[in-house]
Amino acid sequence: MKNQAVSVKYGVGIGILLIAYFFILSIFDLHMKPFLSMVNMIFMGIGIYSAIRIYKTDHKKDNLKTFTYQQGFRVGVVTGFIATIIFSIFFAIYVSNIEPDFIAKMMVNWDAGYDIGVGTISFIVFLMGLASTVVLSLALMQIMKDSWNTSTGKKYTVGDTEKK
């Protein structure tokens, strides 16, 4: 239950931060520049890292429990999933109500000869958010996982040459 509380807290925080960043970009008319969306990855990465770190430190306070890779990965994915849902809903509302000609302006350079609607572009934003969530969670768990470089871990390592 604790991992859901951490995930919800950080997921909502990341979602709000992504929305605020998008509004700041739109104020300066920079929201049409796709390369600036790379900053979203930085926000998402910092948020997921923080959620996993908080969960890990809270979890390790209880001496009877161990922190596993799967638990940390789950916290990262759920956190990113919540943030992605929040931002995708906001984006769909923004594209359909706040700036209805956003898609036409954005697709001017990428015209493929077919009509792209709000649903399609919102779904693409959602998939991009999920993909970055999974990749960031996997990458961050490589940093956050407990090392097997201990005497207990060495007995499970292939090629162990330690004398017994």
Q: What is the pTM of this model?
A: 0.82
Q: Is the pLDDT of residue 160 over 50?
A: no
Q: Is the pLDDT of residue 157 over 60?
A: no
Average pLDDT over every residue of 35-54? 92
Query: If we measure between CA atoms, which residue out of 47, 40, 3, 48 comes closest to residue 19?
Result: 40
pLDDT at residue number 57:
86
The token duo for 3 is 């991992």
Could you tell me what percent of the chain has a pLDDT over 70?
80
The token duo for 144 is 């956050």
Could you tell me what percent of the chain has a pLDDT over 90?
45
The 10s digit of each residue's pLDDT in 56-66 is: 888 777 666 67
Helices within the chain (DSSP H only): 2-27, 38-60, 69-93, 102-106, 118-144, 151-154
The angle at the Cα of 133, spanning 61 to 7, to the nearest 5 degrees, equals 35
Q: What are the residues whose beta carbons fall under 8 Å from the beta carbon of 102, sequence distance 6 or more? A: 31, 94, 95
Average pLDDT over every residue of 24-46? 88
CA Rg value for the chain: 20
Q: What are the residues whose beta carbons fall under 8 Å from the beta carbon of 74, sequence distance 6 or more? A: 3
Cα–Cα distance between 35 and 43 in angstroms, integer?
14
Higher model confidence: residue 160 or residue 9? 9
Residue 66: its H or E element: none
The 10s digit of each residue's pLDDT in 114-133 is: 777 788 888 989 999 999 99
Higher model confidence: residue 140 or residue 155? 140
Q: Binning pLDDT at 50, 70 and 90, where does residue 101 land?
A: confident
Q: Binning pLDDT at 50, 70 and 90, where does residue 164 land?
A: very low
